[in-house]
Amino acid sequence: MEFFLGGFTLVEIMIVVAIIALLASIAISNLLRARRAANDVYAQATLKAISTSCETFAISHSGNYPVVMNDLITTSPPILRVDYTAALTGGYNFTCPTFADTGYICAATPVSCNSSGTRIFTISTGSVIAEVACS
């Protein structure tokens, strides 16, 4: 009894490899887009957490806002447990250039525009959030 074991031709193998590469490029593209969207949502949520902490601080300190991020962390109990401005988090760099007893402004900037995030977010006194496209 003789069995015929036919192999694949080079053309057939190349077609299969091309199809796999096409599917992989589509999947990777979708995963990266989802990651950027998740980072954007994380940045907004983090800024809202910082803003809520600042507003809570002001309520318990006769209307005076914190003058440094550390004011939110060192209260007992802590109003904010993490200093988001200390390190890159979730593909974004968080900064609070304005901390004064009259108000605050904080920003979230993507580490790499259109790669780790698509927009730059700012939040200011009264929890007013704004965004601009990353360029």
73 in any annotated domain: yes
46 in any annotated domain: yes
CA dihedral of residues 35, 112, 44, 134 (deg, nearest 10): -110
* The pLDDT of residue 2 is above 80: no
- Give yes or no for a contact between 57 and 79, defined as CB atoms under 8 angstroms apart: yes
pLDDT band at 1 (very low <50, low <70, confident <90, very high): low
- Give yes or no for a contact between 39 and 116, defined as CB atoms under 8 angstroms apart: yes
What pLDDT, on a 0 to 100 scale, did the predictor assign at position 3? 62
> Hey, which residues does 98 pair with through a beta bridge?
105
Domain that holds residue 94: 10-133
For 75, list phi and psi in degrees, rounded to 5: -65, 160
Query: Model confidence over 51-66: pLDDT tens digits?
Result: 999 999 999 999 999 9
33 in any annotated domain: yes
